[in-house]
Amino acid sequence: MAEGYLKGRIRREDIVTAAVGVYAEAGYHASSLREVARRAGITHAGLLYYFPAKEALLAAVLERRDAEDAEQLAAPPGLDALCRLIELAGHRADVYSRLAGEAVAADHPAHDYFERQYAAARRDAVDSFRVLAERGELREGVDPGYAGLNLVALMDGLRVQWLSNGAAVDLAGALRFYLQDLLTVPLD
Amino acid sequence: MAEGYLKGRIRREDIVTAAVGVYAEAGYHASSLREVARRAGITHAGLLYYFPAKEALLAAVLERRDAEDAEQLAAPPGLDALCRLIELAGHRADVYSRLAGEAVAADHPAHDYFERQYAAARRDAVDSFRVLAERGELREGVDPGYAGLNLVALMDGLRVQWLSNGAAVDLAGALRFYLQDLLTVPLD
């Protein structure tokens, strides 16, 4: 029974991985469970056993992102947390940029999810900049609120250009420049 | 005959306006010419007279954007050009954010268009920051290349969060803060 459970879990994760690929290419609206099943090498009926509706699969894709974030971003607010954030910017799967753009529409099933994500990302970044300010590590005149909001937006915006043409956009360099320019202490 | 031509042009513009609305909501891939025709109040066959293929309509939507940009952004490189750019950020239709996200995929029919657009936007912004540097209006240590790239990315990224939740994101304030912080002269 434990083995069957494990097998089911692996199958479920395979389907979520296939969905990440399909959403990255076609977005959520234009994709179908049939296409995800095909890519996961499972029948349509087999997929419906794990995910009876399209929205359930989307929820599983977003849950995976949360789990990855929780693992990779766990750090107390401050310079380390910001450095970890910008280091990860280039490793984030493009599926989330794709879905976030689509989810701007208020009736998109991931709209509330991304609104919460953005609110949390802004709050975390602003908290880190506030800690820097208290420690005298933030250049004078820099507002922690705008610095945090702009960092989150910058990561998103750079990722779009970098995904579009990686050779033309120095994603890591641009983020390091942005952060270093706000600090009184050297990065690294 | 001149009247017939004018009527045709107006009808064509109505269709493009309807397409902007449909793309903003559903993106390009998930939208159909039938839906655009319905919204423009024209038959499907009538629409095909003006736009025989889906890609021709997309091209017309992007051409309209170019015409708007040319009109609104014409200014020699420098502080005025940058101020005009950030003032317009909040007025840009959300359809372009939507399409740009979708067009990250290399096989999207608007992929090359957005790549050229981004390259031109970066070049213009960097040119303006170089002019500021020559005039001593750029804070010491600020790299015009990164400053320009980051401004273009920031506008994109802020727009996504602002379209998602306008009450939580001070788009205009964040852009002014970003620009002012790079300058040795006051904005306005």
On the question of pLDDT at B1 being above 60, the answer is: no
Are residues A105 and A167 both part of a single domain? yes
**A27 with B29: Cβ contact below 8 A:** yes
CA distances from residue A22 to A27, A28, B27, B172 in whole angstroms, order as listed: 7, 8, 16, 35
| Nearest in space to B89 (alpha carbons), one of B67, B72, B112, B74 | B72
Chain centre to alpha carbon of residue B166: 18
Q: How confident is the model at residue A111 (pLDDT cuts 50, 70, 90)?
A: confident
Is residue B35 within 8 angstroms of chain A, CB to CB? no
Query: Using CA atoms, how far apart are residues A110 and A98, in angstroms rounded to an integer?
Result: 12
What would the mean pLDDT of A173-180 be, rounded to a whole number?
96
How do residues B33-77 score in pLDDT, each as one tens digit?
999 999 999 999 999 999 999 999 999 999 988 888 777 677 889
- Asked if A115 and B160 come within 8 Å (Cβ–Cβ), the reply is no
A157 touches chain B (CB under 8 A): yes
Predicted confidence (pLDDT) per residue in B94-124, tens digit? 677 778 777 877 778 888 998 998 999 999 9
Are A45 and A110 contained in the same domain?
no
**Coil, strand or helix at B93:** coil
pLDDT value of residue B93: 61
My answer on whether B51 and B80 are in the same domain is no
- Whether residue A95 is predicted with pLDDT greater than 80 in this model: the reply is no
User: What b/e readout covers B37-56, taking b as 16+ CB neighbours within 10 angstroms?
Assistant: beebebeeeebeebbeebee
- CA gap A125, A127 in Å, rounded: 5
- Interchain CB contact of A143 with B (< 8 Å): yes
Q: Do B111 and B186 sit in the same domain of this protein?
A: yes
- Asked if B109 and B32 sit in the same domain, the reply is no
Query: pLDDT tier at A18 (50, 70, 90 boundaries)?
Result: very high
Say whether A156 and B157 touch across the interface (CB within 8 A). Answer: yes
CATH of the domain at B86: 1.10.357.10
For residue B70, is it within any domain? no
The answer to whether B186 contacts chain A (CB < 8 Å) is no
Domain that holds residue B154: 75-188
Instruction: Please say if the pLDDT value at position A152 is more than 90.
Output: yes
Same domain as B87, residue B7: no
Burial class (CB in 10 A: 0-12, 13-18, 19+), B183: middle
- If you measure CA to CA, which chain A residue comes closest to B149? A174
Count of domains observed in chain B: 2
What average pLDDT score do residues A123-127 get?
A: 95
Say which residues have a Cβ less than 8 Å from residue A177's Cβ, sequence separation at least 6: B143, B146, B150
Q: Are residues A59 and A116 in the same domain?
A: no
B120 assigned to some structural domain: yes
Residues B91 and B49 reside in one and the same domain: no
Domain-located, residue A70 = no
Are B108 and B186 in a shared domain? yes
Lowest pLDDT segment from A8-17, A133-142, A175-184, B141-150: A8-17
**The CATH number of the domain where A54 resides is what?**
1.10.10.60
Q: What is the DSSP string of B156-182?
A: HHHHHHHHH-TTT--HHHHHHHHHHHH
pLDDT above 60 (res A90):
yes
Please say which residue of B62, B88, B104 terminates a domain: B62
In a shared domain, residues A116 and A170: yes
Is the pLDDT at A1 greater than 70, yes or no? no
Is the residue at A5 inside a domain? Answer: yes
A97 in B contact zone (CB under 8 Å): yes
Q: Is the same domain home to A59 and A79?
A: no
B182 belongs to a structural domain? yes
- Count of Cβ atoms closer than 10 Å to residue A64 Cβ: 16
Phi and psi, residue B137, nearest 5°: -95, 0
